Amino acid sequence: AQSVAQPEDQVNVAEGNPLTVKCTYSVSGNPYLFWYVQYPNRGLQFLLKYITGDNLVKGSYGFEAEFNKSQTSFHLKKPSALVSDSALYFCAVRDLNYGGATNKLIFGTGTLLAVQP
Amino acid sequence: DGGITQSPKYLFRKEGQNVTLSCEQNLNHDAMYWYRQDPGQGLRLIYYSQIVNDFQKGDIAEGYSVSREKKESFPLTVTSAQKNPTAFYLCASNLRGLPQETQYFGPGTRLLVL
């Protein structure tokens, strides 16, 4: 079965320090992976995606993610955290069982990022 | 959130009442989706539509209904059969429903039961 795991409910980091939000996945075939951010009572905002090619993907707001096929991971990273980065982060993988023409996403349970000043 | 609007922002439902959540997009996207978000559970798919006048059940369709009469609109009705409707509802869309496409989300509607 296709699945996504975000092993940390919350990540705490000091402003200016690097941050990592972890994501592992399980799919049959090549994965299509996405990261979204959600601020309180708002919709999800797209950050970045991995489809194919370079394992290091750069996205919005200075975020990047590293695709690691052998470890089935797609961790989100940022070199220097800002207080304004504090939000809920979701990793998602496309569900291949729904067929090639449907872009249904399977979401992780989310990781709350708290950046302290 | 740009391009997808959801209304209302907050909605209150009385027991036994059906309520309808609006979702409109001006992105010219073919595919539209409804997700339900509960704390600690991520997002779960309720219904999706690949094209006008066609829609399919997602993982948790019971107690919900949808229509897709226009390309830009995909309203969701929460019926009285949905016994636990309190949640945050998110509408999404992408261009054709292809796997590499980014799915964009609206700002959400929070449904509360009186």
The nearest alpha carbon in chain A to B5 belongs to A43
- For the segment B74-95, what is each residue's pLDDT rounded down to a tens digit? 999 999 888 899 999 999 999 9
**What single-letter amino acid sits at A18?**
P
Dihedral of the alpha carbons of A98, A99, A102, A106, in degrees to the nearest 10: 40
Closest listed residue to residue B93, CA positions, set B30, B5, B44? B30
**Interface test with chain B among A3, A25, A39, A44, by most B beta carbons within 10 Å:** A44
pLDDT at position A1 over 80: no
- The pLDDT, as a whole number, for residue A103 is 66
- For the segment A49-66, what is each residue's pLDDT rounded down to a tens digit? 999 889 999 999 999 999
Q: How far is CA B84 from CA A41, A43, B13, B60, B79, in A?
A: 19, 21, 11, 12, 11
pLDDT at position B43 over 50: yes
Residue owning tokens 């509408």:
B91
Asked whether the beta carbons of A77 and A69 are under 8 A apart, the reply is: no
Phi-psi region of B59 (alpha: psi -120 to 50; beta: other; left: phi over 0): alpha
Residues of B in contact with A35 (CB under 8 A): none
- For the segment A7-22, what is each residue's pLDDT rounded down to a tens digit? 999 999 999 999 999 9
pLDDT at position A99 over 70: no
Q: Comparing A55 with A95, which gets the higher pLDDT?
A: A55
Categorize the per-residue pLDDT at A102 as very low, low, confident or very high, splitting at 50, 70 and 90: low
The nearest alpha carbon in chain B to A102 belongs to B97
